[in-house]
Amino acid sequence: MGRKSAQAIAPRSRPLVLPALPIVPFSLQQFGYRWPPLWWVGCHGGAGTSTLVSLTEMGVDGGAGWPAAQAGNPVTNVVLVCRATASGAQAANGAIDQVRRQVAPPGINLLGIAVVAASVRRPPRRAADRLRLLDGWVPKVWRLPWVEEYLAVDDPREIGAPPEVLRLADDLSRALMSKERTR
């Protein structure tokens, strides 16, 4: 038996380098001197943050970056959002890794992650494997369906929210109310 060359046993893909979200400074003036109770933060562009803000009528769209408050602002409650794709899951793992390593801005309270389907089909194996890792790293994972009809409207509220999004909104309302009571 001959020896396998290094090329024959090389990994099928590049080593996984986790992306990091940038830190975006916000001031209280931007929000009428009242810090938002909830931030939707996309792990990557096109994750679905603006759609979730619209459908839940909760919080603000933080884009694809950590909201950094000025000193003295209250806790920043964050829900991360990603698509159920290999690159979306990799970006989510990178964002969660920032929280775990404590390199996200101080005061971030990660409530969970909303994983938005990228199509009606099941996610590819690589995406599913990466998404499974999230379950043990965040307080809650909400899996949200693909809604084809959203592609044909200007405002997703014209179609309405699927039951999974209504449950997400209910979970967040309860979480925010319980945090408010403990202050």
Write out pLDDT tens, residues 104-130: 998 999 999 999 999 999 999 999 999
Distance (Å, rounded) from C-alpha 109 to C-alpha 70? 16
Residue 37 in domain: yes
Residue 6 in domain: no
Q: Is residue 174 within 8 Å of residue 143, measured between CB atoms?
A: no
pLDDT at 9: 41
Residue 12 in domain: no
Residue 137 in domain: yes
Distance (Å, rounded) from C-alpha 131 to C-alpha 116? 11
User: Which CATH number do you get for residue 52?
Assistant: 3.40.50
Domain hosting 110: range is 23-181
Residue 50 in domain: yes
pLDDT digits (tens, 9 = 90+) for 36-79: 999 999 999 999 999 999 999 999 999 999 998 777 777 899 99
30, pLDDT greater than 70? yes
Helix axes 125-134 and 86-100, enclosed angle (nearest 10): 20
In the structure encoding, which two tokens stand for residue 96, read together? 């969660």
Total tally of structural domains belonging to the chain: 1
Residue 11 in domain: no
- Coil, strand, or helix at residue 41? strand
pLDDT at 3: 46
* Alpha-carbon dihedral angle through residues 118, 124, 127, 133, given to the nearest 10 degrees: 120
